[in-house]
């Protein structure tokens, strides 16, 4: 096994080209969990070596989303660290120096081939159906002195790595076991581009070495490049890290996850009203399990039992229904004071134009309402959306429920309940319930006969929290007013 005894140092190394995708987020989660579980270090490295695709906003969103998820890095942008810089674009001199070493040791060479020629070579290979494709190594044996002379004369070149012509390169993937590749099938990859920026292959190997990375946990699209990386490590005379290739996350119906098929980025889920702890929990379970039947877990619990050998090599489909359920579970466990704060924010827009001063609503009332609502919602935004009637009288009544609840006899019942409630000196759910019971015995009716008309009259809808608590939250005066307003509609 390719284990090592170095202290655990892992990294999340995104390329700032777009939003933080949930697949990337999960890679970050596993790295973070592993570091924390092992008492190691988790660092963030920005792989901004592609100048064409660089996106300033993406970097900003990335750090924001990482923090929102709760994945604070120990070293990296904003926090610094001893092994920086943590932006690859600031490490160009390091790459140049390392490439120089490879050039001098004969492990790399200058290649003057134009893109047009490479295109031509590729075309010929495709049409002739050759098994071995890739760069034809035209410049591989150019003497270094000649190459230097051409460079001095102003010619442009890239630097390619000299892959051994034969033999096999093996590596041990921590979750898939041994993997081996025939060197003859690998081509001489570019390590330094014409613009002097390194390619991913060179930069990640150099950085992982100098930043003392012990384990590389990355997406499995890198498996095919790993033998090249291993060859690079050995050309440098360095010990490679432990590789662990993570499976991809697929869209619900299979295929790639994309914004076309719904939410795909961390930001999308935040806007939808998902809790970061629910998203992290769900993503972590997509490809990993704690070894027992637990599913709804806190960050600490997951870290406490996290291990690489429980990561599955199999691609997983993103099931938003389950995420929804999980979000509901986390909301249920969330502190009501926190939920009340969140609710107050949304209430501003929900109660827009109602004349209600949201800031003046007592926190205790919002907490009371959150306690009633937290087991029946799946999204945070439902907190404010489904609590409108606690603050504003209904302007219409659910049509379907109306037929029954406001039907024959409902007016008499409502009047009886109204006078009972009006007589209460303290308006709390215990006393309200007792009041309802008293009316039940008086009129010889079942509780359900009273509850339905009253609920509809006060809330306008047929479903919701326990009626007695609901009435307490609305308040005595307002309840009586709403009953009076609905009375004329009853029979």
Partner RNA sequence: GGCGAGUUCGUCUAGUGGCCUAGGACACUGGCCUCUCACGUCGGUAACACGGGUUCGACUCCCGUACUCGCUACCA
Subset of 8-47 contacting RNA (CB under 7 A): 13, 15, 17, 47
Question: Least distance (Å) from RNA to the CB of residue 353?
Answer: 28
Any idea which residue has 């993103």 for tokens?
A: 318
Q: Select 304 or 466, whichever has its Cβ closest to RNA.
A: 466
Beta bridge partners of 482: none
Least distance to RNA from the beta carbon of 194, Å? 3
The site string for RNA over 88-107 (x = CB under 7 A, - otherwise) reads --------------------
409 to 448, contacts with RNA by CB under 7 A? 447-448
**Alpha helical stretches, state H, 38-167:** 56-69, 92-104, 115-128, 144-152
Residues numbered 154 to 183 that lie near RNA (CB under 7 A) are 158, 176-177, 179, 181-182
Q: C-beta of 191: minimal distance to RNA in Å?
A: 9
Nearest Cα to Cα of residue 6 among 41, 33, 31: 41
State which of positions 230-259 bind RNA (CB under 7 A). Answer: 247-248, 250, 254-256
Toward RNA, which CB reaches closer, 7 or 463? 463
| Shortest Å distance, C-beta 491 to RNA | 19
**CA-CA-CA-CA torsion sign (250, 252, 256, 257):** negative
Task: Taking each helix axis as running N to C, give the angle between helix 22-37 and helix 56-69, from 0 to 180 degrees, rounded to the nearest 10.
Answer: 50
How many residues does the structure list for the chain?
A: 491
Residue 197 binds RNA (CB under 7 A): yes
Residue in 67, 101, 256, 259 annotated catalytic? 259
User: Would you list the DSSP string of 292-335?
Assistant: SS--S--HHHHHHH--GGGB-SS-EE--HHHHHHHHHHHHHHS-
Question: Which of 384, 336, 381, 376 is closest to 358 using CA atoms?
Answer: 384
**Which of the residues 371 through 410 are near RNA (CB under 7 A)?**
375-376
297 to 326, contacts with RNA by CB under 7 A?
A: 309-310, 312-317, 319, 321-322, 324-325
* Choices 99-107, 214-222, 389-397, 418-426; region in contact with RNA by CB under 7 A: 214-222
Residue position matching structure tokens 């790459």: 95
Site for RNA in 325-354 (CB under 7 A): 325, 328-329, 332
> Rounded to whole angstroms, how far apart are CA atoms 173 and 215?
11
Give least dist CB 4 to RNA, A. Answer: 21
Q: Which is nearer to RNA, 296 or 303 (CB)?
A: 296
Rounded to a whole number of angstroms, the CA Rg of the chain reads 32
CA distance 311 to 177: 13
Residue 259 is a catalytic residue = yes
3-class SS of residue 409: coil
Q: Does 134 bind RNA (CB under 7 A)?
A: yes
> Quick one: 147 or 358, whose CB is closer to RNA?
147
Instruction: Report the candidate in 266, 237, 194 with the shortest Cα–Cα distance to residue 25.
Output: 266
Q: Which is nearer to RNA, 315 or 485 (CB)?
A: 315
């Amino acid at each position: 096994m390719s284990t090592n005894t170095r202290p655990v140092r892992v990294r999340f190394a995104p390329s700032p080209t777009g939003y933080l995708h949930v697949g990337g987020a999960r890679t970050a989660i596993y790295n973070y969990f592993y570091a924390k579980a092992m008492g190691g270090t988790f660092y963030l490295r920005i792989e901004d070596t592609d100048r064409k695709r660089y996106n300033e906003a993406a970097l900003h969103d990335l750090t924001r989303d990482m923090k929102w998820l709760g994945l604070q890095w120990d070293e990296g942008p904003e926090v610094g660290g001893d092994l920086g810089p943590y932006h690859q674009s600031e490490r160009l001199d390091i790459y140049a120096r390392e490439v120089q070493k490879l050039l001098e040791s004969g492990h790399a060479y200058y290649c003057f081939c134009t893109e047009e020629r490479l295109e031509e070579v590729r075309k010929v290979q495709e049409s002739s159906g050759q098994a071995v494709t890739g760069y034809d190594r035209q410049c591989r044996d150019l003497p270094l002195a000649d190459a230097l002379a051409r460079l001095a004369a102003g010619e442009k070149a890239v630097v390619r790595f000299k892959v051994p012509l034969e033999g096999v390169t093996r590596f041990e993937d921590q979750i898939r076991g041994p993997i081996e590749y025939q060197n003859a099938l690998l081509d001489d990859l570019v390590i330094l581009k014409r613009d002097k920026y390194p390619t991913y292959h060179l930069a990640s190997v150099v950085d992982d070495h100098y930043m003392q990375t012990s384990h590389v946990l990355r997406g499995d699209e890198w498996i095919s490049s790993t033998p090249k990386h291993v060859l690079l490590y050995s050309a440098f005379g360095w010990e490679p890290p432990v590789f662990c290739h993570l499976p991809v996350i697929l869209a619900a119906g299979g295929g790639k996850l994309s914004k076309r098929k719904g939410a795909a980025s961390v930001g999308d889920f935040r806007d939808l009203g998902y809790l970061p702890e629910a998203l992290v929990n769900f993503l972590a379970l997509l490809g990993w399990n704690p070894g027992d039947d637990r599913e709804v877990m806190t960050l600490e619990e997951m870290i406490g039992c996290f291990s690489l050998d429980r990561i599955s090599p199999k691609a997983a489909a993103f099931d938003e229904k389950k995420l929804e359920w999980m979000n509901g579970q986390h909301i249920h466990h969330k502190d009501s004071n926190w939920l009340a704060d969140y609710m107050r924010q949304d209430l501003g827009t929900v109660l827009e134009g109602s004349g209600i001063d949201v800031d003046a609503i007592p926190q205790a009332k919002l907490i009371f309402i959150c306690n009633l609502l937290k087991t029946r919602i799946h999204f945070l935004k439902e907190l404010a959306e489904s609590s409108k009637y606690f603050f504003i009288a209904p302007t219409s009544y659910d049509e379907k429920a109306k037929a029954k609840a406001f039907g024959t006899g409902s007016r008499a019942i409502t009047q009886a309940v109204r006078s009972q409630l009006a007589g209460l000196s303290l308006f709390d759910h215990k006393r309200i319930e007792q009041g309802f019971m008293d009316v039940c015995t008086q009129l010889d009716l079942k509780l359900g006969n009273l509850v339905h008309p009253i609920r509809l009259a006060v809330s306008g809808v047929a479903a919701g929290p326990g009626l007695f608590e609901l009435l307490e939250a609305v308040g005595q005066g307002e309840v009586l007013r709403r009953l009076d307003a609905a009375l004329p509609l009853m029979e």
